[in-house]
Amino acid sequence: MQNKHKLALAAGCLVLAALCFVAAGVSEDSDFDNEAVLAAGDAPAASIGDVTYASLEEALNAAVSGQTVVLIDDYVMTSNAAVKAGVLLLLPCMDNDVGYTSTGYNPDGTTSSVKTLYRTLTIPENVTLTVEGSILVNAVTGYPAGGDFDQDVRGGYAQINLAGNIVVENGGLLDNCGYIIGAGQVTAKSGAEVRDLFVIESWRGGTHALNLMGGRLNVLLNKYGDPFPINEYNCHNIESTIKIESGASFTGNVKMYGGSTFNYTKYPQINNTNGLIRLADNAYLIKTYDSAADRVKIAIYGGATADSSTLTFSFGGISKAMTTSKFTYPIDGDIEFELHNGNYTFNNSFKFLTGAVLTVFDDATLTVPSGKKVIFYDEFNDIDNNGTSEYPQRDAAYILLKGNSTLNIQGSFAGIVKCETSLDQVIVGANAVTTNIESKEANGYNNTSQPAVTLSFDLQVQLAA
């Protein structure tokens, strides 16, 4: 696996935390109580200012808008609870943790900080934590140096061991900078937001990125374009299942280091008005992560569009708004998609890198409209870069059409399409383009004379084995 790094835009890491479960004997009908917690830990569980509470549930019940509840010891919930509107629940990552720093983000790492689990909240099976206010699962992230460094957890961190449920309601925020692991589920209702660390892998540096996009002036004048300066990224420090309902948001927290300072941004991933995935009304998305295989699966039910995202970023001395609509956006090959019962449309151009798989199920249609380009790479031999940041060798990307599903090509499309029922599942419009579809990639590291190379792909339709 290649070393990882950062960017100033958007796009976590291999999560090394192991699944933890509830302490023996604790269940919804257990007689385990807060007095036992105090006896075992000899300390209160939570605080609001200088007032301490025997249990987290008690503290959350007492909190009012504008207050912060701090989990001051590892804790196992024993009953349902709610973070009220206007209340912040802080799971700290260090002594005297104040939550968000003056930057508005979580604490920055140092060259000497060591990844260490500081605080754990366990939510057992059949217990639900409802979020109407905010939760910050805090962590020290980032490494203050240029080069191929992973801007993930680099110091103390908090963790939620989730066997039960976290339900984020309209107006609520679950902001994860540490880890959420376990067999439970996070559900984001319409109007809710869930954030997770977005970590760029194999980052080649801001100078290289500016060169690829045509230089500093072109970026300032919004004349930038292909190729996108990153291909590999992760956003799965929440290992537990995530359900995103239409109207909810899933956002990446991005941190990078350049120009002798940390730079920060929030990268909209799933959002009905500004996101790479925009769900149809009443649709929902299920995101899961297989830590053993290091693969993410995104299953969508009810229809969606693959779209563009606009974010503010900083690198190479530039800070400005940037849109992915100017790029053929890369889908990392460790992601697979399932599209169920609905209409799905590419409203932006995308390239699915080797390793990526998209399966279209019964009663679903996928459309590439006129003016859009979609490519599924059947091979990718990345040009030698700086020895650590080349894209890995992976199997060909492809679409699998199951049952009566269809792929309707009206724009430009290339790559392997496997049809389960008939080759007629692929519909090619009269003005569609399916041969010699071009895609640009980096031509080695910071090649100023010829920054990019052009690859060419064709449509390949075949019956599924």
Examine residue 312 and state whether it is found in any structural domain, yes or no.
yes
Examine residue 22 and state whether it is found in any structural domain, yes or no.
no
* Strand ranges (E), 246-393: 249-258, 261-270, 277-279, 284-290, 295-301, 304-306, 310-315, 318-323, 329-331, 335-340, 342-346, 350-352, 357-360, 364-368, 373-376
Examine residue 443 and state whether it is found in any structural domain, yes or no.
yes
- 332 phi and psi angles, rounded to 5 deg: -60, 145
pLDDT digits (tens, 9 = 90+) for 219-255: 777 888 999 999 999 999 999 999 999 999 999 999 9
DSSP 174-218: EEESSEEESS-EEEE-TT-EEEEE-EEES---HHHHHHHTT-HHH
* Residue 198, pLDDT above cutoff 90: yes
Examine residue 370 and state whether it is found in any structural domain, yes or no.
yes
Closest of 329, 322, 210, 314 to residue 256, by C-alpha: 314
Alpha-carbon distance of 172 to 200, in angstroms, equals 27
pLDDT of residue 277: 99
pLDDT of residue 28: 33
Examine residue 10 and state whether it is found in any structural domain, yes or no.
no
Examine residue 236 and state whether it is found in any structural domain, yes or no.
yes
pLDDT digits (tens, 9 = 90+) for 274-323: 999 999 999 999 999 999 999 999 999 999 999 999 988 765 566 788 89
The total number of structural domains that make up the chain: 1
Examine residue 21 and state whether it is found in any structural domain, yes or no.
no
pLDDT of residue 339: 99
Confidence band for 151, pLDDT divided at 50, 70 and 90: confident
In terms of C-beta density within 10 A (0-12 exposed, 13-18 middle, 19 or more buried), how is residue 333 classed? Answer: buried
pTM: 0.89
* SS3 call for 61: helix
pLDDT digits (tens, 9 = 90+) for 388-429: 889 999 999 999 999 999 999 999 999 999 999 999 999 999
Confidence band for 13, pLDDT divided at 50, 70 and 90: very low
> Which domain does 174 fall in, by range?
48-463
The pLDDT of 162-191, averaged and rounded, is 99
Summary mean pLDDT of the chain: 89
Examine residue 39 and state whether it is found in any structural domain, yes or no.
no
Residues 6+ apart with CB under 8 A from 227: 212, 327, 328, 439, 440, 441, 442, 452
